[in-house]
Structures are given as C-alpha cells and as structure tokens.
A = this chain, B = another copy of it.
Amino acid sequence: MHSYIESNKERFLEELKELLRIPSVSTDPAHVPDMQRAAALVAKRLEEAGASAVRVMPTAKHPVVYGEVRVSDAVPTVLVYGHYDVQPADPVDEWTTPPFEPTVRDGKVYARGATDDKGQMYMHLKALELMQHEGAPACNLKFLIEGEEELGSPSLEAFCKEHHELLSADIVLASDTSIVSADIPGIEASLRGLVYFQVDVYGANTDLHSGIFGGAVPNPANALSAIIASLHDAKGRVAIPSFYNNVRTLTKKERAEIARAPHSDAAYRRQLGLRELVGEVGYSTVERSTVRPTLDVNGIWGGFTGEGSKTVIPREAHAKVSVRLVANQDPKEIEKLFLAHIKRVAPAGVRVETRRLDGAAYPYSMSADHIGYRAAELALQTTFRKKPLPLGSGGSIPVVPMFERLFGIKTVLMGFGLPTDNLHAPDEHFLLKNFYRGIETIPLFYKNLAELWTGEPSAPSTATRAKKKAKEASTKTKKQVR
C-alpha cells in the first residue's frame, strides 16, 4: 500500500463512515433533508481534498456536487462521476447490523451504500487528496457527484444540458461497478439498459367478502398475476411482442470470449442457495445476466398480508416490474411495447394503470481498444499485479449512455466492488482492502491516460495533439456488446 494511504487509512475509513451514517435514500421523500446533508458533506470533503470551485448545485430533485482541478490545457479532462444517494435499506430486519450504522467486520465495512456508491465514490476524493499531496493530478479533473442514480438519474440530463460548458470533458471515469473477485481485477465493458414500471390494478370500490362476492366480481390480485405471467413464455423469454426485434445477435467470437470468463454455475448456485439456475433457454448464466435482456418483478402487493387468514377480495393490487435492455434496444421503444402489451392482456373487469417510474437507461458498451479502457487496464495491472478481465455488467448506470449521447464521450467503468457485496440487498458491504487499492489505482489511471493521450510519458507541459487523438479514439468504439 502507498505510504500516504497507509498512514491515513484510519482517518479515510472514519470519514467514509461519517458519510455512510447519513440515510440518503433518494427514492423516499422523507429523506430529502438527509440528501442535503450528504451533498453538503461530500462538497466539504471534496474541497478539503483540494478541488476548487466546489459547489452544491440544485436540480429538479436532489442536488449535484461539483468541483474541479485545473492542471493544463495539454492534458485530457476527466469527468469523475459518482453518486451519494443509496437504495432503500428494507427489509431492515434482515441486516446483521443496522444499515446506517457502518460496522467493520472481517475487513469489510457494512452499511447501505458501502459499495454502491459512497465507498467507491469516496475513493476518488481520497485519491485527489493523495495526488495533491504529491503535487498535482496528471489530468484535469471535474467532479460530478449526483444524488439520483438509484432513481435512474431523472434530473441529470437536463442538468448536463444546462451546464454543458462547465461539464465538458474528454472522458468520464466512474467507480460504481464490480471486479471479478477480491484479487482479480476487471473492467466493465458493457451495461444493460433499464426501464422500470409500476402496474396498478383496480377492482371494486372497496375490499369485498370473498364468500359473498367471490366468483361474481373481478379480483385485482388474480388479474395482476395473469398479467405478470403473460410477460414470459415457457422458454424463459420475455413474451412482449417485438421485444427482441432490436437485440443485436452475439457473434460466435463474442460468445466464446464470454465463455472464457471465470464462472462456475455450481459455485454461483451454491452462493445464492439455489437448487437450480433458470433463465432464457439457449444462453449461459453469464450471458443471461449481462448481454441478454430480461424482465423481473421487483415488488408485488395487494390484499391481506398479515398473520393468518382474511377472506377478502382486495380492491387493488400492484406490482413493480423492471426490464433490462441490451444493445440495440431503445428504452423508449420498449416502454411503448410494454404499455401496449399490458393493455392487450389486461383481464376483463379490472382497471389497469401502468406507468414508468423514474428515468430510463440506454444500454452501453466500450471497446477494449479504447484509450480509456487501456489506461484503466494498466493501472489495475499495477496495483493488482494481474491483467484485468473485460466484464459485462447486467446492471444499469443510466448516466453512462447519457454522457455518450449528450457529450459524445465514453465512460471508463473502473470499479472496485465485488459481485458478493450485497448491493441493493441487506448487509451491503465493501472490502476495505479494495477501498484502499482503489485510492492507489486512480492516480495511476490519470497518469496512464495522459501518457496514452499525448503519446509520451506523462508530462503535461510537453503534451500535444491531445484533442485530435481523443477524437480518433472515441470514434473507434462502435463495438457494442462484448
């Protein structure tokens, strides 16, 4: 470990824990004050780390934290993206220790947001502190730390358009993803897109006695189940007509590459406590969870859910349903198909209302030839002493494809989490060894990027032809799925 990190590691952890204690759950209106406290704390720490022009900037919903470090016109400008909001912590009673009381066990810090994304975002602030301590970063930096990632970043597109000049950069760097295992690094080369819906089914104007009325009136819970069942076919495929129309077919070479990634169905199954893995017929587990689209119910509720029995026909039933997309599916198109399908299959007698929740995300991919990918690859190779593997993530980071659409720039997804971190689940945690390793790796990324950018060992003053090369690099990245 770098000596500066070694001698400050306790303070870094205590600072992170202070941030983790704030329940900045972006989806819950009750946590608006916590969102503001979290943003203020991130801004304070960013300034302390050496950023200038630090400010908390309003959006339609939760504020963005901005800050920058200006080094030279000759080196590339990196937009560092992260988020300070977290998922809800429920079911809270399934946590070993409370979600907002960060606790260290076995070298891991347990808390909601530990890995997604407070812990990983905070590495960038401490990396900046390290770089400033040693002189200056090898690139110009702009920090964009938002508070709506877990909602699908609904305000960020308008924010980026409004502050287009302020945010202009050559590339984005984000740490909000996972590597292969504690000591095997990886770089996410693709992300799935996301559209999230709520389906509300209404029957009679009141709960009804299931004896007196049963058989003669529509049951919203039965109707909702029929609707949800209609969303898959017997082969595990999404049964919405035209759903697969724009899904790019994987090449043999791509499938062979995916098959080479370290993965064991048996270990995966055991880890999850499953007797059997299921999914779309004809695809492997890794393919199913990264490069194939899928649909899941995220929540369902209606009627009597307490202890014992109650003979009632519920007046309404609800489900939250999300769809993951891959290249070249368009979330706007999929939204239309989903709404039309629900309308078509809605059983008689009930009233069905379907709406999209939060922002949608496009799918995304980055080639391993991209200059940013290579800068990350070299940096990770230095700190992990192993060449990182190209990975496909089944998750979605809506801002990544958005940066590409708005600014025409790619995002390097250099994460330090693990697939076993329980993100979005009880007992979320982050391995502290990789928290510190991340802080050490980030400055190397900037150094590598500046060198690859200028074609010379990093020395800002001698950098030339930077912009031109960046353009070339980014137009080479059209390969969409790995």
Please list the residues of chain A having a beta carbon within 8 angstroms of any beta carbon in chain B: 26-29, 87-88, 90-91, 94, 150-152, 178, 192, 194, 196, 203-219, 221-222, 224-232, 268, 272-280, 285-286, 288-289, 292-314, 317-320, 322, 324, 347-349, 351, 357-358, 393-396, 419, 422-427
Copies of this chain, count: 2
Beyond A196-B311, A219-B297, A222-B296: 10 further Cβ-contacts under 8 Å? A206-B426, A217-B274, A225-B227, A296-B313, A297-B302, A298-B303, A298-B310, A299-B303, A299-B304, A300-B300
Contact present for A301 and B305 (CB under 8 Å): yes
Residues of B within 8 A of A218 (CB): 274, 276-278
A288 to B314, CA, bound (A): 18
Contact present for A395 and B209 (CB under 8 Å): yes
Contact present for A279 and B216 (CB under 8 Å): yes
A194 to B212, CA, bound (A): 12
A322 to B303, CA, bound (A): 12
A229 to B224, CA, bound (A): 9
A13 to B311, CA, bound (A): 28
Contact present for A351 and B275 (CB under 8 Å): yes
Contact present for A301 and B298 (CB under 8 Å): no
Contact present for B276 and A207 (CB under 8 Å): no
A312 to B428, CA, bound (A): 13
A300 to B229, CA, bound (A): 14
Contact present for A276 and B348 (CB under 8 Å): yes
Contact present for B210 and A324 (CB under 8 Å): yes
Question: What is the distance, in angstroms, from A480's C-beta to the closest C-beta of chain B?
Answer: 18
Please give me the residue from chain B that is nearest to A280 by CB atom: B215
Please give me the residue from chain B that is nearest to A357 by CB atom: B309
Contact present for B310 and A217 (CB under 8 Å): no
Residues of B within 8 A of A278 (CB): 217-218, 347-349
Please give me the residue from chain B that is nearest to A206 by CB atom: B425
Question: What is the distance, in angstroms, from A109's C-beta to the closest C-beta of chain B?
Answer: 18
A222 to B306, CA, bound (A): 21
Max count, chain B CB within 10 A of own CB: residue among A152, A217, A396: A217
A299 to B150, CA, bound (A): 29
A314 to B232, CA, bound (A): 18
A78 to B224, CA, bound (A): 47
A213 to B226, CA, bound (A): 24
Question: What is the distance, in angstroms, from A420's C-beta to the closest C-beta of chain B?
Answer: 10
Question: What is the distance, in angstroms, from A213's C-beta to the closest C-beta of chain B?
Answer: 6
Instruction: Assess A214 versus B324: contact at CB under 8 Å? Given A209-B395, A299-B314.
Output: yes
Give 13 A-B contacts (CB < 8 Å), ordered by A residue. Answer: A27-B310, A150-B310, A192-B211, A204-B274, A205-B272, A211-B395, A214-B294, A215-B292, A216-B277, A222-B232, A276-B348, A299-B314, A309-B322
Contact present for A289 and B213 (CB under 8 Å): yes
A349 to B269, CA, bound (A): 10
Max count, chain B CB within 10 A of own CB: residue among A212, A221, A230, A273: A212
Residues of B within 8 A of A285 (CB): 216
Contact present for A296 and B393 (CB under 8 Å): no
Residues of B within 8 A of A312 (CB): 87, 298-299, 424-425
Residues of B within 8 A of A322 (CB): 210, 214, 309, 311
Residues of B within 8 A of A419 (CB): 212
Instruction: Assess A309 versus B394: contact at CB under 8 Å? Given A229-B226, A424-B207.
Output: no
Contact present for B425 and A209 (CB under 8 Å): yes
Residues of B within 8 A of A349 (CB): 274-278
Contact present for B423 and A209 (CB under 8 Å): yes
Max count, chain B CB within 10 A of own CB: residue among A194, A221, A319: A221
The 8 Å CB contact of A225, one of B213, B228, B277, B422, is: B228
The 8 Å CB contact of A288, one of B210, B216, B276, B293, is: B216
A314 to B426, CA, bound (A): 11
Contact present for A272 and B311 (CB under 8 Å): no
Residues of B within 8 A of A152 (CB): 309
Contact present for A296 and B219 (CB under 8 Å): yes
Instruction: Assess A210 versus B296: contact at CB under 8 Å? Given A310-B320, A349-B275.
Output: yes
Contact present for A277 and B217 (CB under 8 Å): yes
Question: What is the distance, in angstroms, from A133's C-beta to the closest C-beta of chain B?
Answer: 35
Contact present for A311 and B225 (CB under 8 Å): no
Instruction: Assess A274 versus B313: contact at CB under 8 Å? Given A216-B288, A225-B224, A302-B300.
Output: no
The 8 nearest A-B residue pairs measured at CB: A211-B395, A27-B308, A205-B273, A215-B294, A229-B229, A225-B228, A299-B303, A221-B297
